[in-house]
Amino acid sequence: MRDFFFFQSWKRIAGLAVAGLLFWTRVVPATADEIVAYSARIEALIKPMFDAFTHKTGIRVKYFTASEKELFERLRAEGPNTPADIFMTVDAGNLWLAEQAGLLQGFNSEVIAKNVPAHLRAKDNSWVGLSVRARPIMYSTERVKASELSTYEALGDPKWRGRLCFRTSRQVYTQSLVATMIKALGEKRSEEILRGWMANQPRIIDSDTRVLEGIAAGQCDVGLTNTYYLARLKAKNPAFPVTPFWPNQSDRGTHVNISGAGITKHAKNRQNAIRLIEFLSSGEAQNLYADTNYEYPANPAVKPHPLIASWGTFKTDQVNVAAAGELQVTAVKLLDRVGYK
């Protein structure tokens, strides 16, 4: 099983941590007018939102940033003694794993129910999507016409042989795309689709940015990436010769994933933590949260950044993004089976 799947090793890692064999920077617990956030999102993306929350409520936010893996390990090892009130990360699969490991707790909120669609959050709000990451088809504006494209499935057409660039199967973005495909179409049909892709001998690249650069350079004509990677390149060079195509608009819609947050099981400042997540789902914060990284707001009432808005509106896949976690192992086995490296 690939390195990403550290879920089954958490107990062992936590045991080592408790025994004193793992050492981390100590995070000071919050006081009554503070919150502690463990975030896999970098400081530049989260600090503006936390500052806005503090300005509005007077509640300060202490934060510690690290990889998803380290934050999982910390929460498991610290148990009831964790100073963390909120866990923030990207990809529904990571949030689902945290929920299944008993690291998060649900809560009721009319604000969240109003602001965040049901398919972008857990049923009990153990985790809540705060920004949306679309993963459409990307294509060369110099060598491909939009009329040649239609669905994810159609990338198995022989006309695309030697013309595709895909992200490695080790990347969670690929795994989540396939997991939600399995949820929507079933494992048998998903395997047929992936075998069609592999028959076209795609170039496998371990970077969404390099996939896009490969398309621009003529190494391939079509690929799959998250939209914010293209937005970053377009922000630097508006003439960058790649644009998105929204697939499956006549059926299930374009695949999306999320970045989001949940309240930790042992949160010491639960009510303030709820207030922060509610704030992050609101109009004021949604633009701060989404625009910084060119992501789409999870709140459908909030307009996206003008750069990505210029690509038009699109129908999104309504399958609950929890499938990215529920079917992740199944997806990886399928990817292995079809020879997707």
Answer yes or no: is 320 within a domain: no
Same domain, 99 and 194: no
Q: What is the CATH number of the domain that holds 75?
A: 3.40.190.10
- Span 30-65, pLDDT tens digits: 566 899 999 999 998 899 999 999 999 999 999 999
What are the strands of the beta sheet with 137-140, ordered from one edge? Answer: 203-205, 164-167, 222-224, 137-140, 242-245
* Average pLDDT of span 69-88: 96
Higher-pLDDT residue of 287 and 114 is: 114
pLDDT of residue 29: 60
Answer yes or no: is 175 within a domain: yes
Answer yes or no: is 206 within a domain: yes
Answer yes or no: is 301 within a domain: yes
DSSP secondary structure code for residue 126 in this structure: S
What are the residues facing 264 on neighbouring strands?
Answer: 104
- The SS3 assignment for 130 reads strand
What is the number of structural domains in the chain? 2
Answer yes or no: is 108 within a domain: yes
- State which residues form the domain around 206: 134-255+327-337
Same domain, 272 and 208: no
Same domain, 213 and 283: no
Same domain, 107 and 140: no
Return the closest-CA partner of residue 231 out of 212, 253, 257, 245: 212
Same domain, 23 and 55: yes
Residue 28 pLDDT level (bands cut at 50, 70, 90): low
Give burial (CB, 10 Å; 0-12/13-18/19+) of 244.
buried
Return the closest-CA partner of residue 117 out of 296, 247, 291, 263: 296
Strands 128-134 and 222-224 turn out to be unpaired
pLDDT of residue 31: 63
- Span 199-224, pLDDT tens digits: 999 999 999 999 999 999 999 999 99
- Span 293-334, pLDDT tens digits: 999 999 999 999 999 999 999 999 999 999 999 999 999 999
Q: How many Cα atoms sit within 13 Å of 155 on the Cβ side? A: 27
Same domain, 212 and 81: no
Same domain, 112 and 83: yes
Q: CB neighbours of 188 closer than 8 A, spacing ≥ 6?
A: none
Answer yes or no: is 316 within a domain: no
Share of the chain above pLDDT 90, in %: 87
Same domain, 199 and 333: yes
Same domain, 93 and 145: no
User: Rounded to the nearest 10 degrees, how much is the dihedral formed by the CA atoms of 233, 238, 240, 246?
Assistant: 80
- Span 241-298, pLDDT tens digits: 999 999 999 999 999 999 999 999 999 999 999 999 999 999 889 988 888 899 999 9
Same domain, 32 and 159: no
pTM over 0.75: yes
Answer yes or no: is 235 within a domain: yes
- Span 98-108, pLDDT tens digits: 999 999 999 99
Answer yes or no: is 2 within a domain: no
* C-alpha of 216 from chain center: 25
Same domain, 120 and 139: no
pLDDT at 13 over 60: no
Same domain, 172 and 31: no
Q: Across all residues in the chain, what is the average pLDDT?
A: 91
